[in-house]
Amino acid sequence: MTKLFLHKIDLRRLILVLTIVSALVSLANTMQASYLVQSRQLIDSALESNAAYAAKLANSTNDFIEQAQQQLAYSAALLGKNFGDEAAYAAEVDRLRLQTDSFNSVMLLDSRGEVLATSPENQSIMGMTLQTPGVRAAMEEKKPAISTPYISAAGNFIVFISSPVWSPTGKYLGLIGGSIYLRQPSILNRLLASHYHKDGSYVYVVSHDHQLIYHPQSDRVGDYVQGNTVIDKIAKGLNGSEETVNSRQVPVLAGYAVVQSTGWGVVAQRPKAQTLAPIESLMQRVIFKTLPITLISLLVIWWCARQISRPLRLLANSAQSMDDTTTEDRIQTVNSWYFEAQELKRIMLLGIGLLKNNIRRLHADVHTDPLTGLGNRRSLDAALTEFQTANLPFAAVSVDIDFFKKINDTYGHDVGDQVLQSLANCLKEVCRAGDVPCRVGGEEFLILLPGTDKHAAAQMAERLRRQVEAADMPMVGNITVSLGVAHWPDDAKSIAAVLKLADDMLYQAKRGGRNRVAVFE
């Protein structure tokens, strides 16, 4: 199946597919760029508009709060002069509520918090001493105050704006305050509810401690909102705009501003999806405008692909048979008439040469011990197989460094490695061209001497022992080695048994005092 697929999708067809994909990608990139530019403009415009609108509403709310405080201060001054006149109480709280419609309710309290008058009249709280948060805070501070939202004695969720009442002599008499209902129609609702968009946009107001003061969904008023980055910035007193996700996980474009007199934040936000809706029709027009140019570009690219495909196709066919001995000659005959094809042809010829060199180098690395440069166990197994196949007798000399562990423990493994390398050099010096010196363990070495009898092998082992004993090793000075000699097939019919005998002789030499050669008899 794979061969069939590769046969159908040859280099020429692949180039054509890539050119078509490139053209489509170019078209898609143009569409995406247009979409990103237009959407960014719409988003920036919506953010700027929402920020300006939030600032306008914040200023309007701030003006309303200041006017309400002025009205309360004026009433407080009048009542301070007529404190004790119950008729004046009722008249003034009614006037204050009805004259400007700023408050849902107005009340007058004495210095103990007892209700002296209310508008509209509410007999259930008349004469009651209020301990609600807004009243307590205002009485403690004895200055104009705006409360945080709370549940009033009448059960309404309100913001309480108050002004202290002082006598002409400076005695604190109580306070007059107005309530703005947050879950019922109020001037704050009318001020914020008439948002200029009707496409899912809306305005809400939040206190500095993340509590909703106004929201189009009245059942959400009083909720605490967490995890909203816009509200977090309002709590820090910041104004601005940003693209964010609201508490209902809807992407929105929000502008926000702080009401200076209260610390509330006004947020005007619009769903991002509604903002970007006009781009769809715009993108259709962009497609119609760019499609003809794209088709022309495809035709031009298709023609160019056909012109360059032939030399590349020939080179690709040659690449499928790199292991063929004639491949190099066939690549030489390809007419690469342009620069890229010529370079590809040159690189392929260079690659064939490198491949051959790497194979040779890899073969050497696989059969060589990296520390000493001697043969490893693979090299040893290959030589034994060759000797056994050719029925070539050989002597085996097993070599081991005496007290090598002490060298490592005393001087460290780096010095131990240098000793191993020096010993390997000694082995190379005493071995003939056809001998096979190998490192078979940490400090264990084995030499195969093809066509050598046991007597000659023992002489060679003795030469090696004396040479090692006389050599000056780095850092260590002089070392000694123990050697064991055995012969195949004189000593055993099995090669494994002969190697075992050579190893046994090595340990016999160690038991005999080390620095000696032991020959199997």
- Spell out the domains of the chain, with CATH numbers in brackets: 2-32+292-318 (no CATH), 33-277 (3.30.450.20), 319-359 (no CATH), 377-519 (3.30.70.270)
CB 440 within 8 A of CB 446: yes
> Residues 367-389: pLDDT tens digits?
788 888 898 888 899 999 999 99
Q: Which residue has the higher pLDDT, 416 or 199?
A: 416
The residue-averaged pLDDT of 163-169 equals 92
Quick one: tokens of 388?
A: 């056994």
Determine the pLDDT at residue 299. Answer: 78
Using CA atoms, how far apart are residues 108 and 110, in angstroms rounded to an integer?
A: 7
Enter the tokens of residue 83: 């404190």
CA-based nearest residue to 437, from 428, 53, 97: 428
Token code pair at residue 244: 């964010």
C-alpha–C-alpha distance, residues 316 and 280, integer Å: 45
Distance separating alpha carbons of residues 219 and 207, to the nearest angstrom: 16
What is the chain's Cα-based Rg?
A: 49
pTM: 0.52
pLDDT of residue 231: 85
CA angle 30, 31, 35 (to 5 degrees): 115
Supply the pLDDT for residue 479. 92
Under the banding of pLDDT at 50, 70 and 90, the label for residue 131 is confident
The C-alpha atoms of residue 69 and residue 80 are separated, in whole angstroms, by: 16
Quick one: pLDDT at residue 6?
Answer: 46
Compute φ and ψ for 23, nearest 5 degrees: -65, -40
Instruction: Check whether 49 has a pLDDT greater than 90.
Output: no
Distance (Å, rounded) from C-alpha 435 to C-alpha 423? 16
Mean pLDDT of 283-305: 76
Q: Which pair of structure tokens corresponds to residue 51?
A: 């920020």
374-to-182, 365, 415, 444, 464 alpha-carbon distances in Å: 92, 11, 19, 12, 16
Q: Which residues are catalytic?
A: 443
Residue 470's H or E segment, with its range, is helix 454-470
Determine the average pLDDT of the residues in 289-312: 75
Which of 440, 461, 349 minimizes the C-alpha distance to 395? 461
User: Are 213 and 157 contacting, i.e. CB atoms less than 8 angstroms apart?
Assistant: no
pLDDT at position 106: 92
What pLDDT score was predicted for residue 151?
84
Average pLDDT over residues 298-315: 72
Indicate whether 275 pLDDT > 70. yes
> Distances in Å between the alpha carbon of 488 and those of 98, 394, 483?
125, 6, 17
Q: What is the pLDDT of residues 217-267, one digit of tens each?
A: 878 888 888 888 888 888 888 899 988 887 778 888 888 999 888 888 888
Residue 188: which of 289, 101, 81 has the closest Cα? 101
Q: Which alpha helices (H) appear in 320-440, and where do they start and end? A: 327-332, 339-366, 377-389, 404-411, 413-430
